[in-house]
Copies of this chain bind each other. A is one copy, B any other.
Amino acid sequence: MLSAYTELEDRFRRTALLGESIGMLSWDQSVMMPEGGATARGEQIAALSVIRHSMMTDPALGELLSDAAEQGGLDEWQAANLMEMRRNWVHATAVPSDLVEAMSKASSACETVWRTARRDADFNAIVPTFSEVLRLVRHLGEVKSAAFGCSLYDALLDAFEPNGKSADIDPVFESYAAFLPDFLDDVLARQNRGPEPVLPPGPFPVSEQRQLVRHMAEAVGLDFETARLDESLHPFSGGIPEDSRITTRYDESDFTFALMGVLHESGHAMYERARPVAWRRQPVGDARGMTIHESQSLLVEMQVCRSREFLGWAAPIMRDAFQGEGDAWDAENIYRLATHVSRGFIRVDADEVTYPAHVILRYRLEKAMLSGDLAVVDLPGAWNDGMRDLLGVTPPNDRLGCLQDIHWYDGAWGYFPTYTLGAMAAAQIYDAARKASADIPAGISQGNFRPLMAWLGKHIHGKGSLLSTDALIQSATDRPFDDVAFKTHLRARYLDA
């Protein structure tokens, strides 16, 4: 007879295979599917999702989890796996199915309204559907809060950042909010004293961009026997370890958009690819959470690929890719382009200095809306006040303000903080990596990522969900997770300090 634990591994393996299949159908939907397939694809994915949900909420699964805990005899890895199984199970079973369905319908309705409301910069148009989403998200948070025994916000956060706590996030974010105004003034003053960065003259044909970004993705460590690179409206990283699917979008007037995007997605993909094969399709073999995931994309894109070391190697390759000529292709100009800082309205266009301000604003506002301190109708005003306080700019309309991101309208609450936690973790992890081996920075200056990826594989990628986010960063960097390395990095890069 199988032990309860062994049967759990088998069940979670089957659930993971369903998840991989859903991921594949979603990839095709974003990358390949003609418009006409949209409705049917939605129904296919919904059918697989219902099956997956019923596997996760099968009462027998709850019994197996209890039995496995009682039977004991598990090694450390199995115990960690059991803990992650239980966390996944709580997420699935905490929420009554009528709430899941109501949430899915409300998000879908709100997302549809959002597309036109954003286009028309018309916040009033979205107030009714958005209020319903908020009501349901609050309800979702309440039931998960009871199941996990934590605050409502932390219960929502847990879906993106397992065991994340707003009590840990608050001081880090407040510290950055206090640090930013003066620092940003200094950075902009110094930037203004230097030469203006110049975008090399285009156009940059898609076919040549495609060659260039493939070459760069290969440098990071992807190989196209086990990966694809395609186009989609919103770039993302999907697939499985043996078949990574990353996407980008090409702008013929600016090749850096696709280039930096592909480097970012390659960082995500490398994290997924380096998990031990024997851990595949077990919860402990999953990515640790969005903070670590984002740390790996930002480590590659922000820490490594916008550095002088990397660009010294890469700039001539960029120039040759487009048969470019002139000073604009000098590595120093490309570096100025890649590290240009500005006060802007749009999060996804932000540089690494101002990006945290966009995130801190959303974090504060989503907590206030969830607690009831901020009414939906007051969001635009609170948004604009926050932008003024944090970045010194006021969005001229809600399209450039509180309607810019899909997340809230689509039901994703508790997601935003992981972007900035990831940026901070990236700085701390890359700092430790460079100190661990001189081969790492030396490799980067020659476009050789192998020493870096070997170190990340050992200290981050290969650990899956064995440790908590904090313990993983502590074990990799030999110190607790904080924002010290991030601020040090920013001072060094932007103030030469």
Contact = CB atoms under 8 A, between A and B. Distances in A.
A20 B44 contact: yes
Contacts of A48: 17-18, 21, 48
B17 A21 contact: no
B20 A243 contact: no
B40 A240 contact: yes
Given A21-B48, A44-B20, A36 B228 contact: no
A3 interface: no
Secondary structure type dominating chain A contacts: helix
A274 to B, nearest CB: 14
A44 B228 CA distance: 18
A58 interface: no
Nearest to A23: B44
A481 to B, nearest CB: 33
Interface string A470-490: 000000000000000000000
A225 B44 CA distance: 19
A242 B36 contact: yes
Given A28-B28, A40-B240, A242-B39, A225 B21 contact: no
Contacts of A51: 18, 51
Contact of A33 (B35, B44, B243): B243
A239 B33 CA distance: 10
A369 interface: no
Contacts of A228: 32, 34
A286 to B, nearest CB: 15
Interface residues of A, number: 31
A40 B25 contact: no
A43 interface: yes
Nearest to A224: B34
A41 B241 CA distance: 12
A130 B258 CA distance: 51
Contact of A225 (B17, B24, B36): B36
A227 interface: yes
A37 interface: yes
Interface in A207-260: 224-228, 239-240, 242-243
A44 B32 contact: no
A34 B227 contact: yes
A14 B225 contact: no
A47 interface: yes
Contacts of A17: 43-44, 47-48
Given A32-B32, A32-B228, A240 B37 contact: yes
Contacts of A37: 226, 239-240, 242-243
Contacts of A34: 224-228, 243
Interface in A27-62: 28, 32-37, 39-41, 43-44, 47-48, 51
Contacts of A18: 47-48, 51
7 contacts: A17-B43, A18-B51, A21-B48, A34-B243, A35-B226, A39-B242, A41-B243
Interface of A: 14, 17-18, 20-21, 24-25, 28, 32-37, 39-41, 43-44, 47-48, 51, 224-228, 239-240, 242-243
